[in-house]
Amino acid sequence: GKSENGADYELEVAYQFGEVGTGDINAYMIAAEAGYTFKDAYATPRLWCGFDYATGDSSAGGDVETFDHLFPLAHKYLGYVDIVGRFNTIDISPAVNFKIKKLWGKLQHHFFWRADTDDALYNVGGAVLRTGSSGTASEVGQEFDLLLKYPVNRRCLAVVGYSHFFAGDFIEQSGSSKDID
């Protein structure tokens, strides 16, 4: 929704249920975003913050509690490095969008945690990056993203971006922990 004064919000909730083998599926996700556009300010900045939560599983086998993002979109929700997917995750992401003449930009910072420390860290495609047993920490890390778009002409859009992932406690506990650019 949008208000006339510049405020906007979005809320999405999904619940998964059913059976797999002899176990039950019981998982959910919540995604929310709230922002405010300063319509009369230079560059028309929109300050906003996003929140994503997707359940994780407390034990392997049997019932499934990890939310499965069935058709994930790379880069769309959880940063451009694609280290973290919408499986067993918590993400808080403050950001600002701006537009200067034809140039559009976005600065965003993600703070990632595992929703359940017994479950794995999954990438955007759902592959296990680190098993849950490889560390006890919930903090996965942080990611900073900068994206700029400029329409060169009506058939050509120039896009430039930079992202940096800062390894958190769980990454450091569970193996190689170099930051990623």
| Residue 69: per-residue pLDDT | 87
Closest CA to 130 of 90, 64, 96, 177: 177
Regions in the chain scoring below 50 on pLDDT: none
Q: For residue 100, give the 3-state DSSP assignment.
A: strand
| Residue 77: per-residue pLDDT | 87
CA–CA distance, 111 with 51 (Å, rounded to integer): 10
| Residue 130: per-residue pLDDT | 93
Query: pLDDT tens for residues 83-113?
Result: 899 999 999 999 999 999 999 999 999 999 9
| Residue 11: per-residue pLDDT | 98
Sequence-distant (6+) residues with CB within 8 A of 61 are 23
| Residue 72: per-residue pLDDT | 84
Residue pair 179/164 in contact by the 8 Å Cβ criterion: yes
Residue pair 88/122 in contact by the 8 Å Cβ criterion: yes
90 beta partners: 53, 113
Taken in order 116, 12, 83, 50, is the CA torsion positive or negative?
negative
What is the value of pTM for the model shown? Answer: 0.93
